[in-house]
């Protein structure tokens, strides 16, 4: 266990070790290269913020990892994490990934564990599709999204865990998705494409200060989980890449996503909770979700989408300070007959939008069913949707709001929204059907189904004052002592 360090005992020894190092280096110079057996150590520590700090540390290089972009490191990652999992009940462990290109297949996380990617560390997802493990479809979806059967496991996967941190100094997780997108377009996939990170049935999760690029499909997927902090992440994928959603909170409680910069080919944030009869049976909503300081560029999708898979329900979503540029819609609710479930108590305050096809979009006829066994009487309930303090420019259509005939979307409130229309804007700025609600201080003038309450009610649409549990999470300052061979 030579590579293991007890963090707290270390600091006192720093000076001493540097002296030892100088001596060993002297020896190495004299005996030239190839002297791998003597381990000299340079100590160099750094700090980061996390929900918990760890007592034990190791680097991927301690497990034979090679960051040359060519060596496959799947076994090194899995061996490291399996080994470190034994410290779960003894203060937990952190695994450090130094600068380099670390080619790897999928690996599984463990509890009381931190994965830390240094600034110039890049995890490169293996392109060996045949060697990629396949797991069951999500129970709340019944089917894979790309193909009926199973799905390729995510690059970084975790199930039934507690207290997991995936963070770094803006290190990168690169899905090398082009090959997968090609197979998807060519209908050559036997199973649903992998995500970059999926955490299932877990609690107390932090994903922060990382860059995700070129995911094969969705990027970050917490599902059936709670108490999730996602902070300071950048997500980049070509704007035409298929289904490269940014973050998909799915049947999760207490999630806080903030300071995210996302450029993608699909929704920047897609809030979900299961698909048709499978999602209804599973019955697990997404609730108490905070999204703050999101910047989104997604010309073919939404900054924040609710659905279309929402059969377990979505409630109490609070979005603030949303910026979208060259994005199809600001907030979009998508659902269909057969979904069941609900979308209710949605609060959005403060959106700055530039170059939008629609600012607001809702559709009740999204289709896209898991299979033909959905219940034609499972009508989704869409109720209590509040949007306020919105400034948009270069807008083609202000809103397209279409509920379900006989089952209108109700309690819609839009206040203090100024939408500057594009030179080539459509003549009809609002299209509304099967919806009920009010507006106040909205320009251009809303449709008749959302009667204007007058300009003095700019604060008409509610935004909750009381904070949620995720607001009081306190991050600790943690440290890691690097050592080099």
Pick the closer one to ligand NAG by CB: 352 or 410: 352
* The only residue of 85, 176, 396, 453 in contact with ligand NAG, by rule CB under 6 A: 396
Give yes or no for residue 165 binding ligand NAG (CB under 6 A).
no
Contact 353, 392 (CB under 8 A): yes
CB of 338 to ligand NAG, least distance (A): 26
- List the alpha helices (DSSP H) in 292-383: none
Pick the closer one to ligand NAG by CB: 374 or 387: 387
Give yes or no for residue 394 binding ligand NAG (CB under 6 A).
yes
180: three-class secondary structure by DSSP: helix
CB of 77 to ligand NAG, least distance (A): 9
Task: Please tell me the count of residues contacting ligand NAG according to CB under 6 A.
Answer: 29
Question: In what helix (H) or strand (E) does residue 21 lie, and over which residues does it extend?
Answer: helix 14-31
DSSP state of 272: B
Q: Which residues pair with 442 in a beta bridge?
A: 417
CB of 138 to ligand NAG, least distance (A): 11
- Per CB under 6 A, which of residues 29..88 are in contact with ligand NAG? 48-49, 78
CB of 25 to ligand NAG, least distance (A): 32
* Distance in angstroms (rounded) separating the CA atoms of residues 445 and 429: 8
| Cα–Cα distance list, 207 to 257, 400, 424, 467 (Å) | 9, 34, 41, 21
Give yes or no for residue 201 binding ligand NAG (CB under 6 A).
yes
250 tagged catalytic:
no
Picking from 246, 247, 253, the residue whose alpha carbon sits closest to that of residue 285 is: 253
CB of 260 to ligand NAG, least distance (A): 11
* Residue of 266, 345, 389, 434 marked catalytic: 266
Pick the closer one to ligand NAG by CB: 62 or 198: 198
- With a CB cutoff of 8 Å and minimum separation 6, the contacts of 305 are 267, 269, 270, 271, 331, 332, 333, 334
* Distance in angstroms (rounded) separating the CA atoms of residues 369 and 259: 33
CB of 172 to ligand NAG, least distance (A): 7
Among 208-216, 247-255, 340-348, 463-471, the segment contacting ligand NAG (CB under 6 A)? 208-216
- Per CB under 6 A, which of residues 250..269 are in contact with ligand NAG? none
Build a one-symbol-per-residue string for 117-156: x at contacts with ligand NAG by CB under 6 A, - elsewhere. ----------------x-x---------------------
Give yes or no for residue 458 binding ligand NAG (CB under 6 A).
yes
| Cα–Cα distance list, 435 to 69, 279, 304, 384, 427 (Å) | 54, 25, 20, 11, 21
Give yes or no for residue 203 binding ligand NAG (CB under 6 A).
no
* Distance in angstroms (rounded) separating the CA atoms of residues 205 and 188: 34
- List the alpha helices (DSSP H) in 48-177: 74-84
Pick the closer one to ligand NAG by CB: 65 or 232: 232
| Cα–Cα distance list, 180 to 25, 63, 184 (Å) | 46, 29, 6
* Distance in angstroms (rounded) separating the CA atoms of residues 47 and 349: 34
Picking from 410, 409, 398, the residue whose alpha carbon sits closest to that of residue 442 is: 398
Among 35-43, 186-194, 238-246, 391-399, the segment contacting ligand NAG (CB under 6 A)? 391-399
From the CA atom positions of the chain, what is the Rg in Å? 25
Question: In what helix (H) or strand (E) does residue 121 lie, and over which residues does it extend?
Answer: strand 121-125
Give the number of C-alpha atoms closer than 13 A to the C-alpha of residue 270, restricted to the C-beta side: 27
CB of 348 to ligand NAG, least distance (A): 11
Give yes or no for residue 209 binding ligand NAG (CB under 6 A).
yes
* The only residue of 391, 433, 447, 468 in contact with ligand NAG, by rule CB under 6 A: 391
Among 124-132, 226-234, 367-375, 449-457, the segment contacting ligand NAG (CB under 6 A)? 226-234
Q: Is 66 exposed, middle or buried (0-12, 13-18, 19+ CB in 10 A)?
A: middle
Pick the closer one to ligand NAG by CB: 134 or 147: 134
Contact 439, 416 (CB under 8 A): no
CB of 459 to ligand NAG, least distance (A): 5
Give yes or no for residue 416 binding ligand NAG (CB under 6 A).
yes
Give yes or no for residue 433 binding ligand NAG (CB under 6 A).
no
* Distance in angstroms (rounded) separating the CA atoms of residues 175 and 109: 17
Pick the closer one to ligand NAG by CB: 114 or 481: 114
Q: Is the preceding peptide bond at 308 cis, omega within 30 degrees of 0?
A: yes
* The only residue of 159, 281, 378, 433 in contact with ligand NAG, by rule CB under 6 A: 159
Give yes or no for residue 443 binding ligand NAG (CB under 6 A).
no
Pick the closer one to ligand NAG by CB: 83 or 383: 83
Catalytic site positions? 266
Which positions lie near ligand NAG, rule CB under 6 A? 48-49, 78, 108, 133, 135, 157, 159-160, 167, 170, 201, 208-209, 211, 231-232, 234, 350, 355, 389, 391, 394, 396, 416, 422, 458-459, 475
């Amino acid at each position: 266990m030579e590579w293991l360090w007890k963090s707290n005992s270390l600091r006192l020894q720093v000076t001493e070790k540097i002296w030892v190092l100088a001596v060993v280096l002297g020896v190495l110079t004299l005996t030239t290269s190839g002297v791998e057996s003597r381990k000299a150590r340079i100590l160099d520590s750094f700090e980061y913020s996390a929900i918990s700090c760890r007592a034990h540390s190791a680097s991927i290089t301690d497990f034979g990892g090679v960051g040359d972009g060519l060596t496959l490191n799947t076994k090194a990652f899995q061996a490291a994490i399996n080994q470190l999992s034994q410290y779960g009940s003894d203060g937990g462990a952190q695994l450090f990934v130094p600068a380099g290109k670390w080619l790897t297949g999928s690996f599984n996380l463990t509890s009381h564990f931190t994965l830390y990617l240094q600034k110039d560390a890049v995890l490169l997802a293996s392109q060996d599709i045949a060697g990629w493990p396949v797991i069951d479809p999500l129970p709340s979806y019944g089917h894979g999204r790309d193909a009926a059967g199973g799905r390729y496991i995510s690059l970084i996967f975790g199930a039934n865990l507690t207290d997991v941190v995936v963070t770094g100094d803006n290190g990168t997780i690169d899905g090398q998705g082009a090959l997968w997108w090609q197979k998807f377009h060519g209908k050559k996939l036997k199973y649903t494409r992998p995500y970059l990170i999926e955490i299932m049935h877990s609690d107390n999760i932090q994903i922060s200060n990382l860059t995700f690029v070129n995911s094969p499909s969705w990027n970050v997927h917490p599902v059936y989980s709670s108490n999730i902090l996602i902070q300071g992440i950048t997500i980049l994928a070509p704007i035409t890449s298929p289904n490269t959603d940014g973050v998909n909170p799915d049947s999760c409680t207490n999630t806080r996503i903030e300071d995210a910069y996302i450029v993608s080919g699909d929704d920047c944030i897609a809030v979900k909770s299961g698909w048709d009869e499978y999602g209804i049976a599973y019955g697990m909503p997404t609730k108490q979700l905070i999204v703050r300081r999101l910047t989104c560029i997604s010309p073919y999708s939404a900054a924040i989408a609710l659905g279309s898979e929402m059969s377990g329900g979505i409630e109490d979503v609070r979005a603030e300070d949303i910026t979208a540029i060259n994005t199809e819609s600001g907030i979009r609710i998508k659902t269909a007959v057969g979904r069941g479930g609900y979308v209710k108590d949605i609060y959005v305050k403060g959106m700055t939008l530039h170059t939008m096809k629609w600012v607001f979009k809702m559709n009740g006829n999204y289709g896209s069913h898991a299979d033909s066994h959905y219940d034609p009487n499972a009508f989704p309930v869409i109720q209590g949707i509040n949007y306020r303090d919105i400034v948009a420019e270069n807008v083609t259509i202000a809103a397209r709001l279409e509920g379900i005939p006989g089952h209108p979307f109700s309690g819609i409130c839009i206040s203090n929204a100024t939408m500057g229309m594009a030179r080539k804007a459509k003549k009809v700025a609002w299209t509304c059907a099967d919806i009920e609600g009010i507006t106040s201080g909205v320009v251009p003038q809303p449709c008749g189904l959302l009667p204007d309450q007058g300009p003095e009610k700019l604060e008409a649409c509610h935004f909750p004052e009381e904070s949620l549990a995720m607001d009081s999470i306190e991050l600790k300052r943690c440290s890691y002592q690097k050592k080099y061979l």
